[in-house]
Structure 1
Amino acid sequence: MTADVRKLPTGFGRLWTAQTVSSLGDGVSHAALPLIALTLTRDPMALAVVTAAGTLPWLLFGVLGGALVDRWDRRRTMWVMDAARAALFAVPAAAAALDVLSIPLLAAVAFLLGLGGLFFDTAATAYLPDLIGRDPVMLERANARLRGTQTAAAGFAGPPLGSALLALGRSVPLLADAVSFACSALLVRSLPAASRTVSQARESLLRQARAGASYVFRDRLLLGLALRPAVGNIAFLAVETVLALFAHDHLGMDTFGFGLLLTAEATGGLIGAGIASHLRRRLGTGAALTTTAAVEGLAILGLAVAPNAYVAGVALAVCGAGMGATMVLGPSLRQAIVPAHLMGRVASTSRMLAMCAAPLGAFLGGWLASTYGVRTPLFAAAGLLLTMTAVTSTMTNNRRVEAALRAAADVTDQPEPRDPVQAEARR
């Protein structure tokens, strides 16, 4: 097969750089914020409030946020959200410098950062096809680069940098993240505007949000693509909840060893993102997605029965590779087949399902471990992943994928009759 030598547009490099810089800042804050919270309290419930506050916006405003993104200019939404998050980080940084930082303030900041992330992530997902077109091959290439560098920046470079900066003072990592968001905002601000017209829709926001959600639930392919991360989050959070305890009690690993275990998973994620296009060419997108889902389930099963840290590390690396490939193939396919005027709503609905599922996984993991033993959540997660693979395999098979791609190639982006965006497009 002849290699595709087409180049991504120049603007993609700026978007790529912006998201890489922002991801580095995310990695810094991901390590620093929990440690900063620990300097304020040792109450587990208080720490849980800070963690939960960051995910709450997706539960409260996920679909509505997608409807707003579909109304707004996506590039402007991205740079405004990054600029706002840069300014927001200055608040706890100043509070830390003045020694007035508190758990309620950190929780409020986490909530607002999560809200900004909701709008930015949804707009970025919807903007990418506007920037580079709807060719699945080009979208895969772009998503692979974005996913790879985000994993490297947030998973490898950011956390140790955050810990090192925290040693210089509580405000230092917060200021570093503020700078990363400001740089990202400037880069995104320089990107070309989307070619399509952005409508000032007058239809009910709730009705538009409902239309986006129903579009996902009525399309078996899109529903299958949404179920995978939702069910996957239940399984992976169940594992994550007990992984540290499992590593300590059953694998005999210390804190440094546990860090290496997580690094193995991130390394697998990088490899998976890199081989995603190869899997799609060899197997077809649908079969590749089914394969990666099965690999994840089998890898978690391998982790559950791992006799030592080395086998556990290999299992997590294989699981990470499956996840990395899935997170390139799934979004690329969605971006290629969903009409542009619905992209924000479809993306946010899918993300909201995944975010809502995460707390269920954490609760399930904790309950199973306390009731039946620490290995039980791992076996349950593996069973859940393999069952999900079997259920969704017909929903996302090659035949459905190819039919959806053909339909997307044949149909121009004309909004639904009840959607004001369509009325404007027709005019």
Structure 2
Amino acid sequence: MVDMKTRTNLPPAFHRFWAAAGISSLGDGIRLSALPLLGATLTDDPTVLSLLTAAALLPWLLFGVLGGALVDRWDRRSTMWIADLARATLLAFAAVAGLAGRLSIPALLVVAFLLGIGQLMFDTAAQSYVPQLLGRDHDVMQRANSRLRGTQQVADGFLGPPAGSALFTLGRTVPFVADAISFAVSAVLVRALPVLPVKRDGPRGSLLADARDGATYLFRDRLLLGLAIRPAIGNVAFMAGEAVLVLFARDRLHLDAAGYGLLLSCQAVGGVLGTLLAGRLSRHLGIGGALTLTAATEAVAQLALAFSDHALVAGAVLAVTGAAISATMVLGPSIRQTIVPEHLMGRVSAASRLMAVSGGPLGAVIGGVLASAFGLRVPFVFGAVLLGSMTLITLPMVTNRRIEAALAAARAPERAVPHRPEDDVDA
């Protein structure tokens, strides 16, 4: 249970985690703009560039559910700091290879893939660790996720991309050094967090059986499934455009490297606003209504971006997109982290992220192919159609009534009556 002091003030340990997440996110933002810029110096082929984006997301498709099963077996704090230390080491080696002139598209694909494995393990452990740290209280979780998401948007969206572009002008490998330092600092901060043992539920089965249990729980629960489907389809839509955004910015919006970094920052500015609006939207529309509004907004914004010819217009549209995505990422995970049993949290989180992230490589490749065949606007139109369809498909799955019933079950004294998929209330 969370006492009244915790309800008012998030614990000091959370602030250490918050600081670690912010520093790591700054490094991610630096890499977000630097990696495509480096790739664009090695090739002008949109399909090849899209593979860089796909490579970072591919580990979720290959190992996502198994990673969740491992997180539910391992100490989650240790998983996080070791993953950060490994990523710092990898980026340091990449920087040395760059100085030696040995970086190429194949080498960048390997780096992106290995970084993706580290992100898989860290993010899954973090999604499971934070609810333990905060006592699994929904209101506290939503407030904490708002802070984490807002900081992420400022760091990896607003500050990181321009910094990455600026550092890139100093040297092609300088951004990778900065990112390596951010991961090393994050590892030190996470290492100082308390160890929180995971409560087991019966004897441990095989790794595959454990992974299957998490996936089964997710797919039997219409609410959790609806929450997972939205980012899954959304990532196909968004990555189709993001994979060619650097070329769209250069050829259609006529932006240089610095301008591209600022364009990415526009989405982050909107993202910060979205984290602030999430709670207000849920109070006025209900969580289900707020999630439906953000989904529809994303579809309209993606279509508007497709036909943008001016950098200011494109920046404004990306800001709206960022606000909608951030509000969704505050509201949706907070529900899952509240209603899923602790011993299943890693596996269910990983299965949800697998659905969400595995759509990214597919979207990135589709975006590159569409851009090569039909022009740079078409991937964004494709994304808008997918987002509109996703909104309609998941509308009856993520309703206010269903969400309220699940949260009420989770608030039962000492979780004596935990939320179960078969307890879902139809709208």
Who is 1:419 aligned against? none
Q: How many angstroms does 1:126 deviate by?
A: 0.7
Q: How many angstroms does 1:32 deviate by?
A: 3.0
Deviations 1:67-115 (A, max 9, x none): 1101111111111111222222222233334444454443333222211
Query: Any residues of structure 2 matched to 1:118-157 within 5 Å, and which?
Result: 118-157=120-159
Check whether the contact 1:341–1:415 (CA below 8 A) recurs between aligned residues.
no
Deviations 1:344-394 (A, max 9, x none): 111111111122212332344445555555544433322321221122111
1:264 aligned residue (247, 266, 290): 266
Percent identity, please.
57
Q: How many angstroms does 1:410 deviate by?
A: 2.1
Who is 1:75 aligned against? 77
Check whether the contact 1:82–1:116 (CA below 8 A) recurs between aligned residues.
yes
Tell me, in whole angstroms, the C-alpha distance in 2 between the residues paired with 1:106 and 1:383: 32
Query: Any residues of structure 2 matched to 1:242-391 within 5 Å, and which?
Result: 243=245, 252-255=253-256, 258-306=260-308, 308-369=310-371, 374-391=376-393
Tell me, in whole angstroms, the C-alpha distance in 1 between the residues paired with 2:308 and 2:149: 28
Give the secondary structure class of the aligned counterpart of 2:323: helix
Who is 2:184 aligned against? 182
Check whether the contact 1:341–1:413 (CA below 8 A) recurs between aligned residues.
no
Check whether the contact 1:236–1:361 (CA below 8 A) recurs between aligned residues.
yes
Tell me, in whole angstroms, the C-alpha distance in 2 between the residues paired with 1:314 and 1:63: 37
Q: How many angstroms does 1:299 deviate by?
A: 2.2
2:114 aligned residue (103, 109, 112): 112
Q: How many angstroms does 1:216 deviate by?
A: 1.0
Tell me, in whole angstroms, the C-alpha distance in 1 between the residues paired with 2:363 and 2:31: 24
Deviations 1:297-318 (A, max 9, x none): 2222333455755444333222
Check whether the contact 2:136–2:337 (CA below 8 A) recurs between aligned residues.
yes
Structure 2-normalised TM-score? 0.86
1:240 maps onto 2:242 in alignment: yes
Q: In 2 relative to 1, CA 200–79 (structure 1 residues): closer, same or farther, beyond 3 Å?
A: farther
Letter in 2 for 1:219: D
Who is 2:231 aligned against? 229
1:42 maps onto 2:82 in alignment: no
Tell me, in whole angstroms, the C-alpha distance in 2 between the residues paired with 1:344 and 1:171: 35
Tell me, in whole angstroms, the C-alpha distance in 2 between the residues paired with 1:207 and 1:66: 12
Greater shift, 366-375 or 6-15, is seen at 366-375
Tell me, in whole angstroms, the C-alpha distance in 1 between the residues paired with 2:399 and 2:34: 42
Q: How many angstroms does 1:295 deviate by?
A: 1.5
Superposed CA RMSD in Å reads 2.9
Letter in 2 for 1:350: S
Tell me, in whole angstroms, the C-alpha distance in 2 between the residues paired with 1:106 and 1:371: 25
Q: How many angstroms does 1:220 deviate by?
A: 0.4
Q: In 2 relative to 1, CA 146–42 (structure 1 residues): closer, same or farther, beyond 3 Å?
A: same
- How many pairs are equivalent? 411
Letter in 1 for 2:135: G
Tell me, in whole angstroms, the C-alpha distance in 1 between the residues paired with 2:259 and 2:100: 36
Greater shift, 55-64 or 369-378, is seen at 369-378
Q: In 2 relative to 1, CA 18–201 (structure 1 residues): closer, same or farther, beyond 3 Å?
A: farther
Check whether the contact 2:84–2:187 (CA below 8 A) recurs between aligned residues.
yes
1:24 aligned residue (23, 26, 31): 26
Letter in 2 for 1:381: G
Who is 1:59 aligned against? 61
Q: How many angstroms does 1:281 deviate by?
A: 1.5
Greater shift, 45-54 or 265-274, is seen at 45-54
Q: How many angstroms does 1:414 deviate by?
A: 8.8
Check whether the contact 1:299–1:319 (CA below 8 A) recurs between aligned residues.
yes
Tell me, in whole angstroms, the C-alpha distance in 2 between the residues paired with 1:140 and 1:52: 30
Letter in 1 for 2:61: L
Tell me, in whole angstroms, the C-alpha distance in 2 between the residues paired with 1:385 and 1:217: 21
Letter in 2 for 1:269: G
Letter in 1 for 2:269: T
Letter in 2 for 1:63: V
Structure 1-normalised TM-score? 0.86
Check whether the contact 1:56–1:114 (CA below 8 A) recurs between aligned residues.
yes
Tell me, in whole angstroms, the C-alpha distance in 1 between the residues paired with 2:109 and 2:370: 28
Give the secondary structure class of the aligned counterpart of 1:284: helix
1:220 maps onto 2:238 in alignment: no
Tell me, in whole angstroms, the C-alpha distance in 2 between the residues paired with 1:248 and 1:113: 27
Tell me, in whole angstroms, the C-alpha distance in 1 between the residues paired with 2:50 and 2:178: 24
Tell me, in whole angstroms, the C-alpha distance in 2 between the residues paired with 1:373 and 1:103: 23
Check whether the contact 2:54–2:362 (CA below 8 A) recurs between aligned residues.
no
Q: In 2 relative to 1, CA 244–175 (structure 1 residues): closer, same or farther, beyond 3 Å?
A: closer
Deviations 1:397-421 (A, max 9, x none): 01100111111222756999xxxxx
**Structure 1 residue runs without a partner (length 5+):** 417-427
Greater shift, 294-303 or 333-342, is seen at 294-303
Tell me, in whole angstroms, the C-alpha distance in 2 between the residues paired with 1:228 and 1:53: 22
Give the secondary structure class of the aligned counterpart of 1:406: helix
Tell me, in whole angstroms, the C-alpha distance in 2 between the residues paired with 1:383 and 1:243: 18
Q: In 2 relative to 1, CA 217–91 (structure 1 residues): closer, same or farther, beyond 3 Å?
A: same
**Structure 2 residue runs without a partner (length 5+):** 1-5, 419-427
1:193 maps onto 2:181 in alignment: no
Who is 1:422 aligned against? none
Q: In 2 relative to 1, CA 74–379 (structure 1 residues): closer, same or farther, beyond 3 Å?
A: same
Who is 1:161 aligned against? 163
Letter in 2 for 1:93: A
Q: How many angstroms does 1:132 deviate by?
A: 0.8
